[in-house]
Chain A
Amino acid sequence: MRIETINQLKKSFLFNGLPDETLQVLAEKISSKTLKKNEKLFEKGDVGDTLFMIDEGFLDIVTEDKQGGALVLNQCGPGETIGEMSLFDKGLRSASVVANTDAHVLALKQDAFFELLEENPETAQTLIRSISSRLRFATTYIEKAIEWSGRIAEGDYSSAMNEIQTSQSLTVGEADNEAKANQMLAAFFKMVEELQAREDELKQQIIKLNFEIDQAQRKKEFEELTSSESYTDLKSQAQKFRQQRAERAKRYANKDLEEK
């Protein structure tokens, strides 16, 4: 159990830089909890003061959609950690967590964690380094996301997609980070693909307007229509009518003038 707990702790970005002796001390402070399927671990808005690590089973991270229905944001499984930051700040839970299957989780309370820091001050340094590297990683991605969004807004989809693909190399490193970063890359990639598909469809609709006239057919029909004798008659008749009209109009205008 103790060894398993230590291995579990190593999977968290916070603790994986700590020496085994420290992890052993930490492991002693950890309690465990069994959840039945559909049982809530905590609710959105609760004050968070405990970090949980999943030992067995799966948990859903859930929030409410606009209609008040449950919206699953993410699912976590064995080895994954929930609520690291609650060890430091006692912030409010940003989402609820519900067991998707029967599950077993390990729990580390903030008080116990602070005890460890008091006993081993050098642990704090390691933790600060871990948090700082995590922050740097997140910042890099936020910057990337801003850059991609700019390209997407300009309609430069192909270069946005290229960059998202090449950014995969950035994620090589810690397994947890890698998974989250890949999730984000995949979401961005899908968004760009869908945008491009929608835009292509719209373009298609405009292209459909690119009518073409069959010029040979046009010429043939024109020649057929104008080559008949009756057309020639009509044309000269129309010219005559026009002329008559102009003359009559002139006479009419003159008469009008004389009357005035």
Chain B
Amino acid sequence: MSTKKIVSIHSFRGGTGKSNVTANLAAQAALAGKRVAVVDTDIQSPGIHVLFGLDEDKMGKTLNDFLYDRCEIGEVALSIGENIIGAPGRSKLAGVNLWLIPSSISGKEISHVLRKGYDVNRLNEGLQTLLEVLDLDYLFIDTHPGLNEETLLSVAISDVLVLLLRPDQQDLQGTAVTIDIARNLGVPNLLLGVNKALSRHNPENVKNEIEALFDAPVAGVMPLSEDLVDNGSADLFSLKEPDHAWSKALKNIAEMVLAVE
């Protein structure tokens, strides 16, 4: 059996830091020597490319081109290891096996997707092909938040689902339903990641309470950090500040993802 894994990073609501976590997790996996790709399936509000230093000019073909049959999926994959763009954290990725499959940020493309939707079969086909042509160990999917149908497909086909949430009432309620859906869809591995934990919350307490609440493992509790806000999307924070509490918690999640059999 292949060890190739599809890892979806999802959250019930927006603003959980999903793209940031996805990009950092993928970078950590690549640094650990794995062959990794990141697919931005948040076609309605793409953003992960910024963390890898890309803007519209530097992006070639996009996932949209593939979905509407304008190219092959392999043509979209952009090697990050060979295209390091500025920033001290990102430059640590030089030479690693990491690819990005970005979504188009053109308004025209986005509105097209919103109006017409896309063929989930074709997306699935593309993901399968990517695993093979790039001989990937891990395919990370940055999803669109919520529980709409297109998002549910990424959740449904994942081998590992990382659900991100903030320790607040609304996120917890939505996460509860998302967990039920993931279990119903037969997702084999579920990990929770808590982001933006307040400094007065003891991370160990947060972990224990949320694990008890959902009967699912919490892989990391990342603090709400001014340093992280300050960094914005300028760099990959866990590479730039590896000893920061946020980075340590993120690396813990990465380790748990990589430990899934």
Contact = CB atoms under 8 A, between A and B. Distances in A.
B45 interface: no
B205 A241 contact: no
Interface string B125-136: 000100110000
Interface residues of A, number: 30
A258 to B, nearest CB: 15
A230 B153 contact: no
Nearest to A219: B180
Interface stretch (A5-13, A104-112, A159-167, A209-217): A209-217
B184 A209 contact: no
B177 interface: yes
Contacts of B177: 218, 221-222, 225
B193 to A, nearest CB: 16
Given A226-B184, A230-B149, A250-B1, A218 B128 contact: no
Nearest to B200: A205
A235 B152 CA distance: 9
Contacts, number: 80
B172 interface: yes
Contacts of B202: 206
Interface in B165-221: 167, 169, 172-173, 176-177, 180-181, 184-186, 200-202, 205-206, 209-210, 213
A237 interface: yes
B2 A249 contact: yes
A238 B205 contact: no
B185 A245 contact: no
Contact of B124 (A213, A218, A231, A241): A241
A234 B148 CA distance: 11
Contacts of A235: 156, 184-185
Contact of A209 (B4, B173, B209): B209
A218 B149 contact: no
Contact of B2 (A209, A214, A253): A253
B206 A218 contact: no
A235 B212 CA distance: 28
A252 interface: yes
Q: A205, A226, A241: which has the most chain B beta carbons within 10 Å?
A: A241
Contacts of B224: none
A234 B149 contact: yes
A189 B178 CA distance: 51
B128 A248 contact: yes
Contacts of B169: 211
A253 B135 CA distance: 11
A238 B6 CA distance: 13
Contacts of A237: 120-121, 153, 156
Nearest to B214: A213
B209 A213 contact: no
A242 interface: yes
Nearest to B202: A206
Contacts of A218: 173, 176-177, 180
B147 interface: yes
A250 B2 CA distance: 7
A209 B207 CA distance: 11
A239 interface: yes
A248 B127 CA distance: 12
Contacts of A222: 177, 180-181, 184
B83 to A, nearest CB: 28
A244 interface: yes
Contact of A253 (B1, B124, B157): B1
B209 A217 contact: no
A238 to B, nearest CB: 3
B74 to A, nearest CB: 15
A95 B177 CA distance: 68
A238 B157 contact: yes
Nearest to A211: B172
A214 B124 contact: no
A214 B205 CA distance: 21
7 contacts: A205-B200, A209-B201, A209-B206, A238-B185, A241-B156, A245-B157, A249-B4
